[in-house]
Structure 1
Amino acid sequence: MESRLSFIVLFIVMRISAAEVVKKNLTGTVGGSVTLPGPLLEKGYITFGGKILASVRQGEFYIDEEIYTHRLHWNKNSGNFSLTNLQRNDSGIYTLDNKGQRMISSYKLTVYDAVPTPSVIKSNVSSNSCSLMCSVDGAEETTLSWHRDEKIVKRIRSAVSLSLIVFRQDFNSSHRCVATNPAQEKTLEVDVKTSCEHNNTESRDGKDQRHHKILIGIIISIVCGVVLIPAVLIFKWNYVDQKKTTTRETQGRIRGHETRSRVY
């Protein structure tokens, strides 16, 4: 009995010493796929959370957990496993036990949400600068950064927006807003010169139009004044004054008639 127990202990020690444990960090995005780089060719199995997901026996692939039937795949030529249609709960440690080579390989997989596509709007455009705002829908585990040419000029983590003021001397430089997480990156190129110069032109045109309208209003007021004032004076002369004269003459004739009546 003691000799048998000693044999088992010796076997376990030999097994551990012969096994090469390789730990690598892998990343993936929701809905995407990932490949475990360690090959498993002839026989062995893959585990996750203490459960055997699938096994290879005599060069044939067998699924042990039915929920992985259409998601876990094995390439017979390379011996690599791949997991598709990733979900957040797929994050964890996957272990390959290659019995043929007595090698155990472990991989820590972290699944992230897909990086949202950034968008950029322009505001506060002046003659010597332009303010840009880069934003994303949802900022969990997402880093936003502004790049000018090959340099990062501004960066923020876990925020929905990041602003940048670009001065005229930098209008010709390359600008881009980048949204990243550990598994994915999305970039939006921004043509600052075209966008901001266009806005400046619109702003100047708007001011010119307002000035033009004001000038036209002043001219119309002057013209109306020049035309209306003489017309009012003529109306006053021809109608009001004549009416007053007629009224006075009528009143004079009435008083004369009354005087004559009293005499007779």
Structure 2
Amino acid sequence: MLFSQRKKLKVTLLHLFVLCSAQHSAQPETRQVKGIVGTVFYFPERVLNSGNLLNQHFGSIAQVYPVKQSNTNLEKRFQNRLHWNNVTGVFTLSDLQIDDSGVYTVENTDEGKTTRIFQLTVYYVLSKPQVTVHDKISCSVVCSVENGREVTLSWYKGGEILNQTSSPDHNITLSLPLKVDEQNRDSYRCEAANPASNETAVVPHSCIESDPSKVKDGDERTRDCLIIAVICVLVASVVVGFAIYLKKRRNGHSHTDSPEREQDDVQYAEITHIKPAENQEERTGIPELESLKDNPNLTVYYTLQLHHMPASKDVDTA
């Protein structure tokens, strides 16, 4: 008696287990889908002849009838945004909003009832991250982006992730600093991403170009050297040319002034030969003639010079 009751209990438990398993297997799997604010979402399940689209909060929001007719204005918040294509059989929801996130069920009654469940999550449009130079000499940069639902901000070097940040506060700006290796600057990128999209920014050229001792490549250095050399040659040519001009001008003045100075210094006089015997008495009062008598070897130039000396002394005395 006791044995038979135990046996019945086991059979009952087995039936319950099989029934629960059958119900669990009959429950359709929920598929995760994503959308972006302002875009159009296509429900990936077709209803060609008859069926429904349901929302977890509002119930049936669209119906399709066997005569290729549909009613997509069952719920006010989806009016003019929810459509059904009678050719493809696909429901579309346009101009997505954050509040459109939720569970949607597509019921297809074309040939036996099939059900597909979709968990729609709508994300904000990602802003493009901005990379700014924090320290030009050491090439330290900061990447920043506006935060949003499930937004992460990451630094990559090639395919390797170097650093990452996120925050549950959607009202802040995410930022992530990084010191860049100048030799491999092009291999760095900053990426902002959410499950629906991603945006990328690279390190600006000003990070390296701001330091001339490290930035300038061979072509730039060669160009600068050539410019400096040309300027030096031009300046030297001007200086040398001006010096030559001054020298020639000075030599020209010296050659022009020399004959005039010689003419001013030398005065020529007509020499008159006097017979001493005839005019000796008349010339006895002239000191210059007396000196000629005493020094017959003196020249006429010396005599004229002596003649002018008393006058110059008188001028000095005055």
Identity %, equivalent residues: 33
Q: Select 1:152's aligned residue among 137, 142, 161.
A: 161
Partner of 1:138 in structure 2?
147
Confirm or deny that 1:92 pairs with 2:95. no
Partner of 1:164 in structure 2?
178
Query: In the alignment, is the contact (CA less than 8 A) between 1:19 and 1:104 conserved in 2?
Result: no
Partner of 2:71 in structure 1?
62
Change (3 A) 1:18 1:156: closer
Moved more, 162-171 or 101-110: 162-171
**Secondary structure in 2 matching 1:160:** strand
Partner of 1:119 in structure 2?
130
Query: In the alignment, is the contact (CA less than 8 A) between 2:52 and 2:62 conserved in 1?
Result: yes
Query: In the alignment, is the contact (CA less than 8 A) between 2:182 and 2:208 conserved in 1?
Result: no
Q: Matched residues in 1 for 2:182 and 2:86: separation?
A: 59
Change (3 A) 1:170 1:91: same
CA deviation after TM superposition for structure 1 residue 112, in Å: 1.6
Change (3 A) 1:185 1:17: closer
Q: Aligned residues, how many?
A: 185
**Secondary structure in 2 matching 1:136:** strand
Change (3 A) 1:46 1:165: same
Change (3 A) 1:18 1:149: closer
**Secondary structure in 1 matching 2:212:** helix
Q: Matched residues in 2 for 1:139 and 1:57: separation?
A: 40
Q: Select 1:180's aligned residue among 193, 207, 220.
A: 193
Matches within 5 A, 1:35-114: 35-48=42-55, 49-58=57-66, 59-63=68-72, 64-100=74-110, 101-114=112-125
Opposite residue 50 of structure 2, the aligned amino acid is K
**Secondary structure in 1 matching 2:46:** coil
Matches within 5 A, 1:4-23: 21-23=28-30
Query: In the alignment, is the contact (CA less than 8 A) between 1:18 and 1:102 conserved in 2?
Result: no
**Secondary structure in 1 matching 2:71:** strand
CA deviation after TM superposition for structure 1 residue 137, in Å: 2.6
CA deviation after TM superposition for structure 1 residue 151, in Å: 2.1
Query: In the alignment, is the contact (CA less than 8 A) between 1:20 and 1:104 conserved in 2?
Result: no
**Secondary structure in 2 matching 1:145:** strand
Gaps (5+ residues) in structure 1? 1-15, 205-264
Change (3 A) 1:197 1:62: same
Gaps (5+ residues) in structure 2? 1-22, 168-172, 216-318
Query: In the alignment, is the contact (CA less than 8 A) between 2:140 and 2:180 conserved in 1?
Result: yes
Q: Matched residues in 2 for 1:75 and 1:86: separation?
A: 18
Where do 4+ consecutive residues of structure 1 move more than 3 Å? Answer: 16-20
Q: Matched residues in 2 for 1:169 and 1:68: separation?
A: 54
Query: In the alignment, is the contact (CA less than 8 A) between 1:139 and 1:160 conserved in 2?
Result: no
Q: Matched residues in 2 for 1:70 and 1:139: separation?
A: 27
Query: In the alignment, is the contact (CA less than 8 A) between 2:58 and 2:75 conserved in 1?
Result: no
Matches within 5 A, 1:181-200: 181-191=194-204, 194-200=205-211
Change (3 A) 1:203 1:53: same
Partner of 2:223 in structure 1?
none
Give CA-to-partner distance per residue, 1:68-126, whole Å, 9 cap, x none: 23111112222111111111111111011111231011101111222122111002222
Partner of 1:31 in structure 2?
38
Partner of 2:246 in structure 1?
none
- Asked which structure has the greater CA Rg, the reply is 2
Opposite residue 130 of structure 2, the aligned amino acid is S
Q: Matched residues in 2 for 1:80 and 1:35: separation?
A: 7
TM (norm. structure 2) is: 0.53
Opposite residue 160 of structure 2, the aligned amino acid is K
Opposite residue 169 of structure 1, the aligned amino acid is Q
CA deviation after TM superposition for structure 1 residue 42, in Å: 0.5
Query: In the alignment, is the contact (CA less than 8 A) between 2:36 and 2:125 conserved in 1?
Result: yes
TM (norm. structure 1) is: 0.63
Q: Matched residues in 2 for 1:149 and 1:203: separation?
A: 23
Superposition RMSD on alpha carbons, in Å?
A: 2.6
**Secondary structure in 2 matching 1:144:** strand
**Secondary structure in 2 matching 1:170:** helix
Higher strand share: 1
